[in-house]
Amino acid sequence: MAPRVLVSDSLSPAAVQIFKLRGVEVDFQPALGKDKDKLAEIIGNYDGLAIRSATKVSAKILEKASRLKVIGRAGIGVDNVDIPAATAKGIIVMNTPFGNSITTAEHAVTMMLALARQIPQADASTQAGKWEKNRFMGVEITGKTLGVIGCGNIGSIVADRAQGLKMTVIAYDPFLSPERALDLGVEKVELDDLLSRADFITLHTPLTEKTRNILDAKALGRTKKGVRIVNCARGGLVDEVALRAALDAGHVAGAAFDVFTEEPATKNVLFGHPNVVCTPHLGASTTEAQENVALQVAEQMSDYLLRGAITNAVNFPSITAEEAPRLKPFIALAEKLGSFAGQLTETGITRVHVAYDGEVAEMKIKALTSAALAGLLRPMLGDDVNVVSAPAVAKERGILVEETIRGAEGEFDNLITVTVITERQTRHLAGTVYADGKPRIVDIKGIRMDAEFAPSMIYVTNEDKPGFVGRFASLLGDAGINIATFHLGREERGGAAICLVEVDGDVPAELLAKVQALPQVRQAKPLKF
């Protein structure tokens, strides 16, 4: 029996035709996304669900999806899908992360030009019959410096277009290697340098805890007077209240926003300012982009339903059903080792080396390396990075990825070692899976350790001197933080040491600052797994 796919949002007729030509039965009901009761009533009849943004795939709908195998989102955002609920039911969730990159980049360039020449304001004035020729004095962009925050897929396209407009492009992106920056023809800089030099700033980074309000009041205060700011990436990257104050004070000359902290944005602190240009999240809204993502999702879903091939899945690696049970604990280990390194990495990564020793070397290591890369990149780039997209994201940023397989050496039947080389240092971590199936970290920078990964941990590098443990434990006790497990390791007596502590609950920033201030401490970082 041919697999059946329900299309519940408006999708290109060409995409529907792809399903049919590939031998997939299609039920095209583009208005169904707005009728969640009807969707829940019939979803049990389908193997696949193709959606855009209107359909909300909740846990309640998934409860009724008795035979659903795959959800395909034509576009990048999957926040309208309950991914944990889908994963729990074994439903693959796919997206099309690169289909609208050019369109979004072009919108950012368009917004920059509109801002430079006050096009929307001049249009409104002229159509009102005012002819205020002397009121709208713009600026040229030729010879100006564009600061790109986030130089991944979209940011690199913007950089290319800006160079065609004879702009000087500087970029801040901790995951952009010097080699990739050279290929793009951009100068890689630190954030403070970008803020002080840029005439225009454009943001192209995901919204994560590290990037939220990356342009806050303090950062805006460090910008060049007269700077113009463009945000076509994510609402929340810029502190809108602080930006309004900087606009009112005349420090920021103008802003062009396509995205907002709260959407739909029917009101916003930026609205009404004479030097602000706004659009209603139109970044991906071109005929070409919508056609591209529709065709891609139809191809991907057909490949999965007919051949079992998994492409751009956000919740599952590219492995077969037979391999999954054996690989699962090692995928978890690889991802956690990568996450450990990623949470500690603050400078550009140039190379990642993953070594597999013993039994694990005989497994599908590509899936394991992808898991390690996803863990490594996600702390900086957000949940858009998954085990499928991580290798492409790493390549996009010029990160060299290497793998080594070896026979069992030493005391472990299996061992995964992740080495991360940045512009400033080399860090390596090793872990294993014991007979109980639980991943453990057994080596940090050559120092022996034996610890399970916990939801909340504190990682401290310190000097092996008397008094540290007592002071450290007292600080945690005074803060009301309970210690669950405590692991210590050292290179040699009196030398470099490591402390890895599992705690109950989150680690307050003020506590971390006190730990960092201890005389023996070199570094203190919170970790989440």
Active site residues: 234, 263, 281
Does an H or E element contain 527, and which? strand 521-528
**Helix (H, G, I), strand (E, B), or coil: what is residue 122?**
helix
Peptide bond into 264 cis (omega under 30): yes
* Start-to-end CA span in the chain (Å): 42
Burial of 84 (0-12, 13-18, 19+ CB in 10 A): exposed
Helices 324-344 and 365-381 sit at what angle, rounded to 10 degrees?
Answer: 30
Question: Minimal CA–CA distance to 229: which of 210, 209, 206, 246?
Answer: 246
Pairing between strand 4-7 and 25-28?
parallel
Q: Which residues contact 70 (CB under 8 A, 6 or more apart)?
A: 47, 48, 49, 91, 92, 93, 94, 301, 304, 305
d(CA 528, CA 199): 37
Q: Which two three-digit tokens encode residue 117? A: 């020449």
**What is the DSSP secondary structure assignment for residue 374, as one 8-state letter?**
H
**Distance separating alpha carbons of residues 1 and 44, to the nearest angstrom:** 16
The answer to whether residues 423 and 348 touch, using CB atoms and an 8 Å cutoff, is yes
